[in-house]
């Protein structure tokens, strides 16, 4: 072992000893003076920090993906700051881990770096204009919660197998969460009570119990299943043993997506499948369409077939299917019109932290009932527009578009790769589906679980694309070397090229 590595290991061991001693002292004082909830969070926070220092790459590649499935019923509330949920604690610990990871790979493309830097500067400017506690919380959400996972994955991933490990852990977590959702649906009993602070529940829809498992809302449960199902499809298209495992997990997640009874994620999954078909090879596209058609037939003849049909028809005729969620369709439609009317008179938006009922009035009506649509902004794009104004909204769209274009380029480059081609296509297609479903539910900068998932997806797509770029550079170098070698041989032989 070299002298430098030995010193590094000794330094790490000493740091761990200091952390353990500090933890013991801190826990002793906390047990005496603080409530058990705060003690638990302090203990968990110190453990996470210790793990982040000792195993920084594992912190990002293994712990962070599984953090999506930690129920947000556990949180710490400090003064007027937003609740510190487990995901936010993981992100803060992952920041420490990122400084311990040494990587010379250029994973995040410059176009994305530039667009995000401009967007972050604009967010900072809005905060300086109105420096409130609510605005500070939104700055954290728009920068750390959404985009920090991209940077973390970019620093931690060193080869494509790391992406495969992350996807596998996400699928394992989703399978367990889906099993819990199906158990809830079978027993019509939620696992965790809704506190309406970090854990919400909309109740039954048309007499149907809506399962949510470990997720903050039934819609979020549907969105998470919608995002992970394309990954299972990608694994099912692989030519190895992983395909058999993926095919056995797929029906479980599809059933969980259904029992959330959230139409937005249903439509988002359909859009993701169509997007996946456009970038896959012809034979894989045909297989995917066959699987989708078979699943549709099974759904229509299943016991849920009539309920799914009525929920879908409510999108076209919300008045006739009012009891099957038609009122939500009308609400979202009127919310969109009220948002545009507000923005026409307030082009700079309401400001950071002001897109809620107490600070904003989006007056409108449903039938003869007057309503303030700011009480529940069920549209991710509308929420961003109301908070950031047209300029901030445009910058946000540019950042997401650059991520989408880069992911599409990676999917196209890997199209012929039988192992990673479907995965690259799934990562791109899921981003498209997520952007679509954001027009029907609040996703961006609203729920920590979906923000983290979106960041992980973009980061993994960038990592695969970086490998693609490196392979292309290597191919160009090899072709150049072969060309130079041929020229040298021609010179030796006295052959002059025409």
Q: What is the DSSP string of 317-348?
A: -TTTTGGGTHHHHHHHHHHHHHHHHHHHH-TT
320 and 450 assigned to the same domain:
yes
496 in any annotated domain: no
Of the listed ranges 11-15, 41-45, 50-54, 274-278, the least confidently predicted one is 11-15
Instruction: Give this prediction's pTM.
Output: 0.82
The answer, yes or no, to whether residue 427 has pLDDT greater than 90, is yes
Same structural domain, 122 and 90 = no
- Whether residue 167 is found in the same domain as residue 70: no
Mean pLDDT across 402-414: 91
pLDDT digits (tens, 9 = 90+) for 322-341: 545 556 667 777 888 888 88
3-state secondary structure of 268: helix
Q: Which two tokens stand for residue 63?
A: 């712990």
What is the per-residue pLDDT for 475? Answer: 42
The reported pLDDT for the residue numbered 359 is 67
| Same domain assignment for residues 139 and 89 | no
Q: Which domain holds residue 251?
A: 104-478
pLDDT value at residue 86 = 80
Over 50: is that where the pLDDT of 5 sits?
yes
Q: In Å, how far are 248, 313, 321, 373, 405 from 316, measured between CA atoms?
A: 34, 5, 9, 21, 32
- What confidence score (pLDDT) does residue 474 get? 42
Give the SS3 label for residue 76.
Answer: strand
Q: CA-to-CA distance for 20 and 185, rounded, in angstroms? A: 43
Give the per-residue pLDDT at 208: 82
Q: Which two tokens stand for residue 428?
A: 């791109």
Contact 205, 311 (CB under 8 A): yes
Residue 164 DSSP one-character state: H
pLDDT for position 144 = 86
Per-residue confidence band for 83, with pLDDT thresholds at 50, 70 and 90: confident
485 assigned to some structural domain = no
pLDDT higher for 82 or 132? Answer: 132
Does 108 score more than 90 pLDDT?
no
Q: Please check whether residues 401 and 279 belong to one and the same domain.
A: yes
29: pLDDT strictly greater than 90: no
Domain membership of residue 498 (yes or no) is: no
CA distance 340 to 346: 10
Q: Residue 169: in which H helix or E strand, if any?
A: helix 160-187
238 and 156 housed in the same domain = yes
């Amino acid at each position: 072992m070299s002298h430098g590595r030995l010193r590094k290991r000794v330094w790490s061991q000493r740091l761990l000893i200091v952390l353990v001693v500090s933890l013991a002292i801190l826990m002793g004082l906390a047990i005496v003076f603080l409530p058990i909830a705060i003690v638990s969070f302090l203990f968990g926070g110190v453990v996470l920090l210790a793990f982040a220092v000792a195993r920084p790459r594992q912190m990002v590649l293994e712990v962070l993906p599984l953090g999506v499935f930690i129920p947000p019923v556990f949180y710490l509330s400090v003064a007027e700051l937003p609740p510190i949920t487990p995901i936010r604690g993981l992100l803060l610990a992952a920041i420490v881990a990122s400084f311990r990871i040494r990587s010379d790979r250029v994973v995040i493309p410059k176009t994305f770096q530039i667009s995000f830097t401009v967007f972050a500067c604009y967010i900072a400017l809005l905060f300086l204009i109105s420096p409130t506690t609510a605005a500070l919380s939104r700055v954290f959400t728009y920068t750390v919660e959404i985009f920090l996972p991209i940077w973390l994955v970019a620093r931690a991933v060193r080869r494509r197998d790391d992406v495969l490990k992350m996807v596998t852990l996400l699928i394992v977590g989703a399978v367990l969460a889906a099993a819990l959702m199906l158990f809830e649906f079978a027993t019509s009993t939620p696992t965790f009570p809704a506190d309406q602070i970090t854990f919400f529940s909309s109740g039954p829809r048309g007499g149907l119990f809506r399962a949510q498992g470990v997720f903050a809302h039934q819609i979020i449960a549907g969105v998470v299943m919608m995002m992970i199902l394309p990954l299972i499809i990608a694994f099912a298209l692989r030519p190895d043993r992983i395909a058999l495992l993926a095919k056995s997990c797929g029906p479980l997640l599809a059933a969980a997506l259904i029992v959330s009874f959230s139409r937005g994620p249903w439509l988002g999954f359909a859009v993701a499948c169509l997007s996946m078909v456009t970038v896959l090879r012809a034979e894989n596209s045909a297989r995917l369409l066959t699987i989708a058609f078979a699943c549709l037939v099974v759904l229509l003849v299943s016991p849920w077939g009539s309920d799914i049909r009525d929920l879908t028809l409510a999108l076209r005729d919300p008045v006739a299917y009012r009891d099957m969620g038609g009122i939500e369709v009308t609400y979202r439609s009127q919310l969109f019109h009220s948002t545009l009317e507000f923005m026409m008179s307030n082009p700079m938006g309401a400001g950071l932290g002001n897109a809620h009922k107490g600070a904003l009035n989006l007056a409108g009506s449903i039938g003869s009932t007057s309503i303030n649509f700011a009480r529940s902004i069920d549209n991710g794009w509308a929420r961003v527009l109301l908070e950031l104004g047209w300029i901030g909204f445009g910058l946000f769209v540019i950042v997401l578009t650059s991520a989408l274009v880069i992911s599409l380029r990676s999917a196209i480059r890997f199209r012929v790769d039988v192992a990673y081609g479907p995965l690259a296509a799934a990562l791109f297609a899921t981003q498209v589906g997520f952007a679509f479903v954001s027009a029907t539910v609040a996703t961006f900068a609203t729920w920590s679980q979906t923000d983290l998932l979106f960041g992980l997806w973009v980061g993994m797509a960038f990592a695969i694309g970086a490998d693609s770029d490196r392979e292309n550079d290597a191919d160009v170098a090899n072709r150049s070397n072969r060309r130079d070698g041929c020229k040298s041989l021609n010179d030796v032989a006295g052959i002059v090229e025409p």
